[in-house]
Amino acid sequence: MIMRSVKIMAGLSSTVTLALLALSPVAAMAAGPGTTTSNLTTVSSGYVADTTGSAEAASDAEFTVSPGSLTLNQVPNISLGSAGVKSIATADTTLPVVSGTTTGGTGYDGNSSGTLNVSDYRGTHAGWSLSVGMGPFTSGANTVTDAKLTLNETAGTLDNTATAAPVSLLLSQGTVTSGWISNPENLWNADTNTGEGNNTATTATSSSLLISKQPLISAGTYTATLYWALDSAPITVKPAS
């Protein structure tokens, strides 16, 4: 009697289950691609390819670009021609840039190839600016009262060809306070979205030093320090009023 009752109950249970399945809609099999909530990591049965269409899935490829630095890598020494005491004592004298090595001074960072180099691998496209100033020419206790350096730098390698070339400067002798020049001038300005990568320039042979007439000039080798400063943003040039 007990066994019979169980069979009846089981039969009823199967009948109820079949009835419920008949009333429930059949879930459609996923074909992809996935979403944030339903994808191949959550759909255990996978995506179905059948006569109605292909199974589609999407995955990712990714890499990281690490930032570098903005650096001043090379600055040039400026070797100038010579002149006699008579020339400077009697008239304004222009000395051309010549090849060679400077022999004195306290500017230990300069090179004799005339190379100026800035690199920007920050990846920010923020731009930069390079300024330079010139201290007084001295030879021991002797000085030059008035000298102006025409500094022309010819652009070389510019990884971003939109980068502007250095401008021509006329540098007067400036005052050095606390170890730095008081009147630097902007030589090279890389605006936003320029200046990236490697940037080189070379001192042009058109550069020269003009020494004003100085009757009290003393014989000797005269040296001035060039002060270079690289800043991490371009200088905004105000339009002429």
H or E segment to which residue 134 belongs? strand 128-134
pTM for the model:
0.82
Give tens-digit pLDDT for 212-228. 999 999 999 999 999 99
Residue 60 to residue 217: CA distance in whole angstroms: 74
- List own/partner pairs for 26-31 with CB under 8 A and 24 or more apart: 31/55, 31/56
Checking phi first, is residue 85 left (phi over 0); if not, alpha (psi -120 to 50) or beta? alpha
Cis peptide leading into 33, omega within 30 of 0? Answer: yes
Residue 212 to residue 138: CA distance in whole angstroms: 15
The tokens describing 203, both together, are 């001192």
**pLDDT for 24 beyond 90:** no
Give tens-digit pLDDT for 55-101. 999 999 999 999 999 999 999 999 999 999 999 999 999 999 999 99
Q: How many residues does the chain have?
A: 241
**pLDDT for 109 beyond 90:** yes
**pLDDT for 31 beyond 50:** yes
3-state secondary structure of 151: strand
**pLDDT for 188 beyond 50:** yes
Question: Closest Cα to residue 126, out of 176, 160, 78, 169?
Answer: 160
Contact of 175 with 182, CB cutoff 8 Å: yes
**Residue, of 148 and 40, whose pLDDT is higher:** 148
H or E segment to which residue 201 belongs? strand 197-203
Burial of 76 by CB count in 10 Å (0-12 exposed, 13-18 middle, 19+ buried)?
buried
The owner of tokens 């105000």 is: 238
Each domain of the chain, given as residue ranges in start order, spans: 1-58, 70-231
